[in-house]
Structure 1
Amino acid sequence: MTSTQPTAPAPHYLSLPDARTVTTQAVRAAAHALDKVLREQSMMCLTADPGVGKTFTLHTLCEQRPTLPALRLLQRPQARPDDLRHSLHHALNLPGDPPQDAGICDDYLRHALAHTPRLLAVDEAHQLSTSCIEYLRYLHDDPTPQVTILLLASRPRLKALRSQPTLLSRVTTWHHMEPLDPDEVLTVLPAFHPLWHNTPNRTLTHLDEMWAHGNLRRWAALTHQLQAHRRRHPDHPPDPDALLRRLHHRLALTT
């Protein structure tokens, strides 16, 4: 059983009109894992293959917990600790510019983080430098800030995080998100977008086997192609194989 929201609060890939947020099995499993680490105020790493929906799941989980103050950071590759400090300063809406002195900036951040338990979520965490990971360790180990740290990482890049002894001894939950299984595709896609409402199950299965493989980003791309076809040919139902050929052609041009 899946649940939906009529208006998606989280941004869908390609900004699909009329797309809905669907609480899939993977999202529910991630929510259960997150609630556990929130109670412990510990560290968690959420991983998935590209396109399965790590970032979208983060947005969804935060929207489902409106009373949870969440700080969401996306750092550039090989960012420095000062970059993290400045991002946190802005995410906390602290007045003025971040102090240039690292010690003073840390005091401001520790004071701001001391009053309310918060979720600190860092997307693309596999790109963090060792010094930034050490800074997250500092925030985690300091008894003053009340933060739960959630790291989002691509599964193919997970080795970069697991090679950090600092994280191995502190991350209490390594949670991997799986793509949609074939049976779930048949319920999720009609809930995800009205264009799939009356699509026969055999067509959804065919498209998933040949193209999407349970990957939500690929399903979004397929939905985008279906919308374009409907605009150009409103009186002609799309041929699934033609859509697949168009997608495979576009993929070949970008690789």
Structure 2
Amino acid sequence: MNGDMEYGRLPAEGTDHFHRLDAHVVATEALLTTVDNIQDTIEAQGMMCAFGSSGFGKTMSVNSALRKLAPDITYRLELRSGPTPRDIRHGLFRALGLPGDPPTRPIEFDTLLKETLSETFRVLVCDEAQWMGRSSFEYWRHLWDDRNTKITVIFAGGDGCFKVLKREPMLASRIFIWQKFTRMSEDEVVATLPAFHSLWSGVDPRTIRGIDRAAAHGNFRNWATITRLLRNGMNRKQLTEINDNLIRWVYSKLAGM
């Protein structure tokens, strides 16, 4: 078996949060929807596309849902920018922990992968799918279309993966569920933040709304950055609560403020 036993497995929950923030996974509307969608896709042995702009929680939601639904049969690929079908072959070989050296000829490689993926049902996740072009998406279709393989494929990526897939009717028609991730509403931000991190417990909702309008814009990744900066500032300035001066200090460290 390959030596890197961690590659391809679901990461620990603590690594989901931006900046390794000591926060909690919160059952947002997007996360609950992701659980339902992935469960339906697994039951159908279909393909799913989770897409949207950066920072809206695609990867975190997909990882969290799969920890709940299919932790032992999920295999994740981490591909470089502009991956080719060759990269996908080698990524699968590594993620699946196949023995020996990878085959040198594509036809032999494909036969090995199809035989392996026909043995037992697996969930394959391609994160950062916006980096893939038509030929790479076609390769995933090639594996999924084989009548013997037993797989669910989940693409998670930026708007680019949606645009590539929608341009190709043969590919788009095979996507069972499309899920678009968007920014949280102010009401959801106010309801979510205290559960997300203890720093926001007891903070005036008007303060949270003001920060969201000025800097976070309903983006979970922005909120993780702001939370980390606020915590750092409170520790450095020996504060016990958030105040306007601290918020302005955080804004001074953010682009576009």
1:44-193 to structure 2, matched below 5 A, reads 44-155=48-159, 158-193=162-197
Change (3 A) 1:157 1:99: closer
Are 2:198 and 1:194 equivalent residues in the alignment?
A: yes
Cα-Cα RMSD: 2.1
Of 29, 33, 38, 2:37 maps to: 33
Counterpart code for 2:117: L
Counterpart code for 2:196: F
TM-score, normalising length: structure 1: 0.88
Counterpart code for 2:169: P
Partner of 2:19: 14
Change (3 A) 1:36 1:66: closer
Alpha-carbon distance in structure 2 between the residues aligned to 1:133 and 1:161: 8
Q: Once the two structures are superposed, what CA deviation does each residue of 1:36-89 show, in whole Å capped at 9, x if it has no partner? A: 111111111111221001111121112112455111112222212111001000
Are 2:225 and 1:205 equivalent residues in the alignment?
A: no
* More off after superposition, 140-149 vs 99-108: 99-108
| Matched position secondary structure for 2:26 | strand
Counterpart code for 1:132: S
Residues 137, 166 of structure 1: 8 Å contact kept? no
Q: Sequence identity of aligned pairs in percent?
A: 32
CA offset at residue 197 of structure 1? 1.1
CA offset at residue 240 of structure 1? 4.1
How many residues get paired? 246
Alpha-carbon distance in structure 2 between the residues aligned to 1:175 and 1:96: 38
Residues 230, 250 of structure 2: 8 Å contact kept? no
Partner of 2:7: none
CA offset at residue 204 of structure 1? 1.2
Counterpart code for 1:55: T
Are 2:255 and 1:239 equivalent residues in the alignment?
A: no
Partner of 2:254: 250
Structure 2 runs not aligned, ≥5 long: 1-11
Residues 211, 244 of structure 1: 8 Å contact kept? no
CA offset at residue 11 of structure 1? 2.2
Structure 1 runs not aligned, ≥5 long: 1-6
* More off after superposition, 218-227 vs 229-238: 229-238
Alpha-carbon distance in structure 2 between the residues aligned to 1:244 and 1:158: 37
Are 2:239 and 1:229 equivalent residues in the alignment?
A: no
CA offset at residue 170 of structure 1? 0.9
